Amino acid sequence: MLKNFSATLILIFTLLSGGCAMATDLTMNWEWPADREPTDKLIISVEGINKHSSGWFGLKKSPSFVEAMPDPVDLTGKVLSGSDLLSQKSIVITLPKLELGEVSAGELLAVGVIGDKTCICVRKVTDKDEDLSEWKCSQD
């Protein structure tokens, strides 16, 4: 009986902590450009925009946390172009809602990236094959 109880507790904890959630291939966080230009540019198809979890009792919202940002949202999507390695991978980007503008599910978004996990600029695009070679974050 104790074995079954332990197994049940482990299962419940795993489910509550997101252990069985849908896998994401790539997770990115936001930083403001600060005169930097992206090293890579992706075009993603937006699948959803959800309010970012602020942790238990809203602790992650505290201004004393480095990660704290105004009105954060989690943008989920699929990479359509910009990187052969990432093509068709699922992506989640946590960023301030203000930076998204008027973007909704089903639309396309260009994303400027530095390194592996840092998004520094976004803008709406109309074509998955749009040429982003001349796009600079400072233009937005």
For the stretch 111-138, pLDDT in tens is 999 998 999 999 999 999 999 999 988 7
Average pLDDT of span 78-88: 88
pLDDT beyond 60 at 106? yes
Cα gap 69→115, rounded to integer Å: 20
Computed over every residue of the chain, the mean pLDDT equals 80
pLDDT beyond 50 at 20? no
32-41, 65-74, 83-92, 116-125, range with the lowest pLDDT: 65-74
Q: Would you say residue 136 lies in a domain?
A: no
Specify the number of domains making up the chain: 1
Q: Would you say residue 8 lies in a domain?
A: no
Query: Residue 130: which of 46, 42, 48, 47 has the closest Cα?
Result: 42
In this prediction, residue 54 has a pLDDT band, given cuts at 50, 70 and 90, of low
pLDDT beyond 60 at 8? no
**pLDDT on residue 64:** 45
Q: Would you say residue 3 lies in a domain?
A: no
Q: Would you say residue 52 lies in a domain?
A: yes
Q: Would you say residue 139 lies in a domain?
A: no
Q: How many CB atoms lie within 10 A of CB 14?
A: 11
Reported pTM? 0.72
Q: Would you say residue 82 lies in a domain?
A: yes
Is residue 50 classed exposed, middle or buried when 0-12, 13-18 and 19+ CB atoms within 10 A define those classes? Answer: exposed
Q: Would you say residue 46 lies in a domain?
A: yes
Higher model confidence: residue 139 or residue 51?
51
Domain that holds residue 66: 22-127
Q: Would you say residue 137 lies in a domain?
A: no
Cα gap 29→21, rounded to integer Å: 19
